[in-house]
Amino acid sequence: MNNTPLDREDHISQIPALQLLQNMGYTYLTPREALNLRGGRESEVLLVGILEDWLRKHNGITYKGEQYAFSEGNIQAAIHALKPVLMDGPIVVNEKVYDLLCLGKSLEQNILGDVKSFTLNYVDWTHPENNVYHVTEEFSVERTASHDTRRPDIILFVNGIPFTVTECKRPALPGKEHEDPLEQAISQQIRNQKEDEIPKLFTYSQVLMGVSKNAAKYATAGTSMKFWSMWKEDTNVDTELGALINRPLPAVQKERLFAQREASVRAFFNDLEKAGPREITAQDRAVYGLCRHNRLLELTYRFILFDAGEKKIARYQQYFCVRKAMDRLLELNKEGRREGGVVWHTQGSGKSLTMVMLAKAIALEPSIRNYKIILVTDRVDLDDQIYDTFTHCGREVVQATTGSHLLELLQGNKDCIIATVIDKFEAALKKKDFRDENPNIFVLVDEGHRTQYGPRHALMRKALPFGCYIGFTGTPLMKLEKNTMVKFGGLIDSY
């Protein structure tokens, strides 16, 4: 194979990705700089130098109206907590780290002679601009019990924590069209997570990507090959994306990117720049769609679930469905209700997960207070999934055991997420003396084997006149059901 640009992954995939990521606001670190920030140890995957600095600057203790810094011992304890032993298995450990990233670490500290627990946060989820974002390449990581290394192509860090791992591949060469570059990239990602490879890196990873110029797929830690997905935006982003991919890097950034490469590589990209705007590629769309600062944090915090020992990240249709539903229900209509509706997603598209993701989004929405979220299913096996999901975002789920128990929970004064099955839900609604006018009651129903919308609609409007009802179905709607669907607010999303 000759050494032409078409044969070089860094020419065709890796450098364009690095250029785009820098224009998206990631600070580029050379491989040497990244190694120095992890203490010169290839066995370390956290950029400890960056993480320490961020934890000090962006965490503090408010006590009796005064501000205090976390002790140096607590800063080091927080970093140590992010380094669990891998004996429990990679996904179990990934889940523990995910909890820490989302909820922070509770640490005891003596303030003026009073010892109390205070929470130290690793990420500012509310204000993405307060975090620091870095990108590096050829990130050499020592294999388990070995001095051999693997070098994933591109790593994205949030506050020094490796959130994203990307493998870049060139498109198949003429005559070798049978070679699938994405399959190769995904295979590498799966291999590298094995126990004798570099599983430590994937303890922290939230988004994994396999990219080639003309194709890209993403997943999260532990995802098998068949469940890697393409990402699609639901609006046209060509104007802003085109501007980013064609914006020349400042001279200083170019020098850092090309300093360790052959002069011919820099000359090649200088010529491309002079030739005028290039077209947007599938790789560009995936990188932009998944790795923008706000999007990466949102996907991580709101759209990742752990389900029966598997970590799952939203597919694009689930993400945009939840966003559409949230846009609708955040506003009260002239009758004082939040608009509900029906989500029609085909069987096998993950509608039950979409329902849980929407419930999580509602629970995390700061503008919705005194909420009651009722997740109505006909599947007992969803209970564990529902429970685990809300544990990760610091919310408690209660299983309603009877219709009367459900009413007790609804009449309570605190925010509440309730899981129940369809017959208990309907039994509660039939209680003659029950009526709750709280507009922050959300009823999310998995209509896998639904009864007619009509009777339930009447029951709900009587008992919960201002409640927001959202049904999730994967079967075709009959004409009568379509008419009833309009009463709930119409179709929210279809896929």
Can you tell me the distance from the alpha carbon of 362 to that of 379, in angstroms, rounded to the nearest whole number?
A: 22
Predicted pLDDT at 477: 64
pLDDT tier at 9, thresholds 50, 70, 90? low
Q: Using one digit for the tens of pLDDT, what is the confidence trace for 379-434?
A: 655 656 666 667 666 677 888 888 888 888 888 878 888 888 777 777 877 776 77
Predicted pLDDT at 2: 37
CB 472 within 8 A of CB 354: yes
Predicted pLDDT at 335: 87
Predicted pLDDT at 234: 92
CA distance between the termini of the chain: 44
Q: Alpha carbon of 435 to those of 1, 93, 374, 419: distances in Å?
A: 75, 45, 16, 20
Mean pLDDT of 240-258: 96
Mean pLDDT of 287-295: 98
CA neighbor of 29 nearest in space, from 185, 330, 353, 260: 260
Can you tell me the distance from the alpha carbon of 129 to that of 221, in angstroms, rounded to the nearest whole number?
A: 26
| Residue 329 scores a pLDDT above 80 | yes
Burial bucket for residue 341 (CB in 10 Å: 0-12, 13-18, 19+)? buried
Identity of the highest mean pLDDT range in 19-28, 415-424, 478-487: 19-28
Q: Using one digit for the tens of pLDDT, what is the confidence trace for 144-155?
A: 989 999 999 999
State CA 374 to chain mean position distance: 23
Predicted pLDDT at 424: 79
Residue type for position 145: A
Can you tell me the distance from the alpha carbon of 442 to that of 450, in angstroms, rounded to the nearest whole number?
A: 18
Residues 6+ apart with CB under 8 A from 479: none
To the question of pTM greater than 0.85 for the whole model, the response is: yes
| Residue 45 scores a pLDDT above 80 | yes
3-state secondary structure string across the chain: CCCCHHHCHHHHHHHHHHHHHHHCCCEEECHHHHHHHCCCCCCCCCCHHHHHHHHHHHCCEEECCEEECCCHHHHHHHHHHCCCCHHHCHHHHHHHHHHHHHHCEEEEEEECCEEEEEEECCCCCCCHHHCCEEEEECCCEECCCCCCEECCCEEEEECCEEEEEEEEECCCCCCCCCCCHHHHHHHHHHHHCCCCCCHHHHCCCCEEEEEECCEEEEECCCCCHHHCECCCCCCCCHHHHHHHHCCCCCHHHHHHHHCCCCHHHHHHHHHHHHCCCCCCCHHHHHHHHHHCHHHHHHHHHHCEEEECCEEEECCHHHHHHHHHHHHHHCCECCCCCECCEEEECCCCCCHHHHHHHHHHHHHHCCCCCCCEEEEEECCCCHHHHHHHHHHHCCCCEEECCCHHHHHHHHCCCCCEEEEEEHHHHHHHHCCCCCCCCCCCEEEEEECCCCCCHHHHHHHHHHHCCCCEEEEEECCCCCHHHHHHHHHCCCEEEEC
* Lowest mean pLDDT across 105-114, 128-137, 318-327, 375-384: 375-384
Pairing label, strands 416-421, 441-446: unpaired
Percent of the chain whose pLDDT exceeds 90 = 59
